[in-house]
Amino acid sequence: MFERVRSLFSSKPAGPWQPSDYRVVATEAGANVNYDCYCGCDAGIAFDRADAEQEAGSCCCGNLIQVGAGAVARLNRQLTDPAAYRIAVQSVAMPWGEQSDVALAIPEQPAP
């Protein structure tokens, strides 16, 4: 019985961490795309649809986020050391009726 209780509380997600979902809120320029970071922050990006080379949104733990067409490529271009990150990509519904890629670069070694 105790084994069973413990297994209920120690269930960890399979595989490395990534956000379980993104919160998307429409703005005049595009959308605010936010997630609950594992470091405790409410992290994200104020995505501007008109800015093709927008800076990635960053979190204090080193995560970087990009949204929209080519999000993964743009994110990779902004990483000084791409090998130090893993990239998690999800397709997210945007307020203007499109699915957009949301790409998150997560440092393999989180900032201390």
Closer CB to Zn ion, residue 60 or residue 69?
60
Select from 97, 49, 84, 42 the least CA-distant residue to 70.
Answer: 49
Closer CB to Zn ion, residue 34 or residue 100?
34
Where on the chain is the footprint of Zn ion (CB under 5 A)?
Answer: 37, 39, 41, 59, 61, 63
Answer positive or negative: Cα dihedral of 58, 64, 65, 69.
positive
Structure tokens at 51: 């800015």
Q: Closest approach of Cβ 63 to Zn ion, in Å?
A: 5
Q: Closest approach of Cβ 41 to Zn ion, in Å?
A: 4
For residue 65, what are the β-bridge partners? 57, 104
Closer CB to Zn ion, residue 61 or residue 72?
61
Q: Closest approach of Cβ 61 to Zn ion, in Å?
A: 3
Structure tokens at 24: 């998307």
The Cα angle at residue 80 between residues 45 and 69, in degrees rounded to 5: 45
